[in-house]
Structure 1
Amino acid sequence: MTEAPPVSRDPALRSGSAGRVVVVTGLSGAGKTSALKVFEDMGYEAVDNLPVTLLDSLVKPGGGLKRPLAVGIDIRSRDFGVEPVLAEIDKLMAGADLDLRLLFLDCEDEVLRRRFTETRRRHPLAADRPLIDGIRHERALVSPLKRRSDVVFDTSSLAPGEFKRVLSGYFGLDTDKDLLVFVTSFAYRNGLPREADLVFDARFLANPHYVPELKPLTGRDPGVAAFVSADAVFPAFMDSLTGLLAPLLPRFAAEGKSYLTIAVGCTGGRHRSVFVAERLAAWLRDQGARVELRHRELEEGGA
């Protein structure tokens, strides 16, 4: 997951949730319908496939907008065009009474192909061409929207629960609270977490995997914790890690970022990364941060 540079807005608008509008767009099959359901659960009014020309009348003063709004617009929307969508968004962003954000949902071509094949749905641009050609044509067509988006999510490997958690972290309406920091451990051999904002590599630390009595344990166990802590470079590593993060967290919050994902990886995702993530989460809580902790490979049965 990557986040584009945010459009400059008055931070005070974040507390006025009734004036918040999220335009959800992206590739067909990447999860727009699921995203709108999540927004509805969060308290937004959700509208799908809205014609671009009606967006202004829906959000302007007197248009009946009493709750935050999530609007789905993509190539299936009537009068859809990349330039008209961008022009409309630019016009609305110029208004001082709206906190408008553009969310783009991306996904790998092969995952999209599999989703359309398994559900037997027809891709909107593949009526007279192979499915994969329709997917690639759409990707090229909407690429300007992706470049202009405030937030881009790659949903290729996001489970439904994870998708909901990430959306809630970025767009939840409980804006009175501080920055929420999500810490996750992972295995490099299974790929980087796509939603990660910051990634740290723990593979240089001594590996408990090669100690027979520690191999079946995890970084949550005292024996593994003691083994990794005994590595001569571990204290300096943690000092450097926390020293890096300490000045960054308030800057992220000051920029209006409500959600930050920090990922710590090692080879198998069971020992070193788990222990470092546990220690990092504990340090963040000691600093007064709101923290959620997850160990991806432990939850998914990784080795």
Structure 2
Amino acid sequence: MQLIIITGMSGSGKSFALDVFEDMGYYAMDNLAPALIPKFCEMALDAKSKNFEKVAVVMDLRSGEFFDSLYNALNEIKSMHIDLKIIFLYADMETIIARYKEQRRPHPMNKSIVEGYKFEETALEKIKQDSDFVIDTTGLSTKNFRNQIMAFMSYDEKESFPIEISSFGYKDGILKDADIVLDVRFLPNPYYIEKFRDVNGLDEEVKNFVLNFDVTQEFLERAIDFFKFLIPNYMTEQKRVLKIGIGCTGGFHRSVVIAEEIGRILKKDYSSTYVTHRDMEKNLWKKR
């Protein structure tokens, strides 16, 4: 089990950091009291669930008695042979004041923002010194903030970037939640061959029929080049997931074949690629 404790000053970006860990597949919890951490870890280890193999928790002074209970909790966790890392976030006073004024929220310490900042700066100095990674978020863009966390965790975003490729039929409506839609109705249609009427694009003969045309191979080559250019740029701009729609008339033959083929090729570089077929089974049922 890996446990990441995110702590630091109020207004320094702890909630955003927790979101980044959640995007990386961590079970995320906010404002958990330190005394409850060992109990949670014990239950998680007993559960032997993959959901709790990676956990990220925000803990800060909102939980009241912080340090005595925190260091007691850390000592218990160490005895459980858990991979523990502590990330500490802070920013300068002017930045914290500006963030709270922008959000129009009071300081959680029930003090003025300036008093709260000075109190936390002193109270959190020890845990700051004991942390594995300290990030100054003053003037830090969300993009660079995210990149720093991922670099610290040695996170390979390319290996974990989810790409869904979904076939669909235009006669049942366009794929509304797709980021990119490719129309393959220009390809030769197996529907007009009697023996292919009641078998879908997963059938080997249908697949060979669609893929054996020169126009199909040229299209695939151009599409893959397009995606190989596009995907890294989407990742650079912090896009969390990419959904690609491949549409033909019924979503039964051509789009299924092309979606499967593009998925097979992209999966070589992006292992979290997966393929779905919105209308394939539905249109088979209609035929019957």
Quote how far apart the aligned CAs of 1:114 are: 1.0
**Aligned residues: CA RMSD:** 2.0
Q: How does 1:251-290 map to 2 (within 5 A)?
A: none
- Secondary structure of the structure 2 residue equivalent to 1:25: strand
Quote how far apart the aligned CAs of 1:91 are: 2.2
Quick one: which amino acid aligns to residue 58 of structure 1? F
| TM-score calculated relative to the size of structure 1 | 0.48
Please state if 1:94 is matched with 2:76: no
Q: Of residues 10, 15, 22 in structure 2, which corresponds to 1:33?
A: 15
- Compare the two structures and name the one with the higher helix fraction: 2
> Which residue does 2:199 correspond to in 1?
none
Please state if 1:153 is matched with 2:135: yes
* Aligned-partner Cα distance in 2 for 1:101–1:45: 15
Quote how far apart the aligned CAs of 1:64 are: 5.5
Contact 1:113/1:132 (<8 A) preserved: yes
> Which residue does 2:88 correspond to in 1?
104
Q: Percent identity?
A: 31
Quick one: which amino acid aligns to residue 118 of structure 1? E
Where does structure 2 lack aligned partners over 5 or more consecutive residues? 160-288
- Secondary structure of the structure 1 residue equivalent to 2:12: coil
Q: How does 1:158-197 map to 2 (within 5 A)?
A: 158-174=140-156
> Which residue does 2:25 correspond to in 1?
43
Quote how far apart the aligned CAs of 1:174 are: 4.5
Once the two structures are superposed, what CA deviation does each residue of 1:23-45 show, in whole Å capped at 9, x if it has no partner?
Answer: 00000000000000000001101
Q: Using a 3 Å threshold, how does the CA distance of structure 1 residues 122 and 133 change in structure 2: closer, same or farther? A: same
> Which residue does 2:68 correspond to in 1?
83
* Aligned-partner Cα distance in 2 for 1:153–1:63: 33
- Secondary structure of the structure 2 residue equivalent to 1:133: helix
> Which residue does 2:227 correspond to in 1?
none
- Secondary structure of the structure 2 residue equivalent to 1:105: strand
Q: Using a 3 Å threshold, how does the CA distance of structure 1 residues 73 and 137 change in structure 2: closer, same or farther? A: same
- Secondary structure of the structure 2 residue equivalent to 1:71: strand
- Secondary structure of the structure 2 residue equivalent to 1:76: helix
* Aligned-partner Cα distance in 2 for 1:172–1:119: 32
Q: Which moved more, 1:165-174 or 1:115-124?
A: 165-174
What is the number of residues matched between the two proteins?
A: 154
Once the two structures are superposed, what CA deviation does each residue of 1:9-57 show, in whole Å capped at 9, x if it has no partner?
Answer: xxxxxxxxxx111000000000000000000001101000112221112
Higher CA-based Rg: 2
> Which residue does 1:214 correspond to in 2?
none
> Which residue does 2:105 correspond to in 1?
121
> Which residue does 2:5 correspond to in 1?
23
Contact 2:3/2:83 (<8 A) preserved: yes
* Aligned-partner Cα distance in 1 for 2:77–2:113: 35
Quote how far apart the aligned CAs of 1:63 are: 4.7
- Secondary structure of the structure 2 residue equivalent to 1:62: helix
